[in-house]
Structure 1
Amino acid sequence: MERGLIQVYTGDGKGKTTASIGLGIRAVGRGFKVYMVQFLKETDTGELHTLKNIENFKVFRFQSSDKFFWTLNEEEKKVLAKEMKKAYEFVVDVLENKKCDVLILDEIMAAIHSKMYTVEDVLKLIEIKPKEIELVLTGRSAPQEIIEKADLVTEMKAIKHPFERGIPARYGIEY
């Protein structure tokens, strides 16, 4: 890729991860290598079953616990912090060594809001991004500093959601 840009998918609506995966599949279809690092996600989701069969689309997860962040006790948060440090080091290595054409940092905003990373940590990743790599950042409430650095920002806005009517997340649709 001659020129990789910075994309942000944010907002309180559904579809940020789905959009980034769609972009990644499109890129693979054109011969690009895609890496997706998922932050604060460890549960089994349907897309993982498909993506593992796509040769040039690799998903990396570093979290060992399948609990939501807000349910972790202090010891579990310490373990998670070590895992997130490894994830960050992995991302730095991927960028510095140009290991892929498209790098998706899924739920990186959640990692910021959970205090696993600072905004400055993520801005550093943007800073070291080689010009050839497309960088995609997802998650609710993207900080203004990251939005300003991005070339494209899409906000998913919740208008109506079945959860509001008591319909829980559905197998094969939401996960």
Structure 2
Amino acid sequence: MQQGLIHIYTGAGKGKTTAAIGLGIRAYGQGLKVLMVQFLKGWTTGEMKIIASLGPCFQLFSKKENDKFSWGMTEEEMKSISGEMRIGLNYTIEAVKSGEWDLIIMDEIMAAVNCGYLPLKEVVELVKTKPLELELVLTGRDAPARLIELADYVSEITARKHPMNQGIMAREGIEY
């Protein structure tokens, strides 16, 4: 078995999750088992539908039941999200320990940490103690310096132009 490395897709540009899923599809195509755990995403996207059709070798875990962005939530919804993020992290920790997966994607984990839903210390510990052969991918804006230090790959996706700035909202099949 080959050594697993740590990838980070970060930055304010569009495509961090898409890049992580692309890597997951590549791994799946080579016979690797892939798990994607989504933090802070609660809406159904096109890629979620495809992943669901791939069977047991590419699984998606998402506990978030609210489809709002954090800036549009009530205090009660924010507390609920915190509990959902804890469930997601606990699930990820168990998956990492299980040895069942070749690649685990922690989608939007940076947002879960940066918004205060999860402690950075626990995510750092998870990354530091991952099995040698496990490939680990973390996505989200504003990757903390501590995680960047631990990573083998860091790709920063920048936004030079985005339709949202012109009032064009997310479109089915393109942004979700």
Please indicate, yes or no, whether the TM-score normalized by the shorter chain is above 0.5. yes
SS where residue 158 of structure 1 aligns? coil
1:66 aligned partner: 67
* Alignment partner of 1:29 is 2:14: no
Following superposition, the deviation at residue 166 of structure 1 comes to: 2.2
Is residue 39–residue 108 contact of structure 1 (8 Å, CA) maintained in 2?
yes
Query: How many angstroms apart in 1 are the aligned matches of 2:25 and 2:158?
Result: 23
SS where residue 52 of structure 1 aligns? helix
Is residue 95–residue 128 contact of structure 1 (8 Å, CA) maintained in 2?
no
Q: What does residue range 37-48 of structure 1 map to in structure 2 within 5 Å?
A: 37-48=37-48
1:100 aligned partner: 101
1:122 aligned partner: 123
Matching residue's letter, 1:174: E
Q: Deviations over 1:4-48 (max 9, x none)?
A: 000000001111000000000000010000000000111111111
SS where residue 42 of structure 1 aligns? coil
Query: How many angstroms apart in 1 are the aligned matches of 2:67 and 2:74?
Result: 13
Following superposition, the deviation at residue 76 of structure 1 comes to: 1.8
Query: How many angstroms apart in 2 are the aligned matches of 1:128 and 1:70?
Result: 33
Matching residue's letter, 2:52: K
Q: What does residue range 113-152 of structure 1 map to in structure 2 within 5 Å?
A: 113-152=114-153
Q: Deviations over 1:78-136 (max 9, x none)?
A: 22222211111111101111121000000000101110112212101102210111000
2:175 aligned partner: 174
Quote the RMSD (CA, aligned, Å).
1.1
What's the TM-score once normalised by structure 2's chain length? 0.95
Matching residue's letter, 1:162: P
Matching residue's letter, 2:127: I
Q: What does residue range 7-18 of structure 1 map to in structure 2 within 5 Å?
A: 7-18=7-18
Is residue 64–residue 81 contact of structure 2 (8 Å, CA) maintained in 1?
yes
SS where residue 172 of structure 1 aligns? coil
SS where residue 40 of structure 1 aligns? coil
Q: Which runs of 5+ in 2 are unaligned?
A: none
How many residues are matched?
A: 175
Query: How many angstroms apart in 1 are the aligned matches of 2:82 and 2:164?
Result: 30
Query: How many angstroms apart in 2 are the aligned matches of 1:168 and 1:124?
Result: 37
Matching residue's letter, 2:37: V
Following superposition, the deviation at residue 2 of structure 1 comes to: 2.0
Query: How many angstroms apart in 2 are the aligned matches of 1:163 and 1:72?
Result: 20
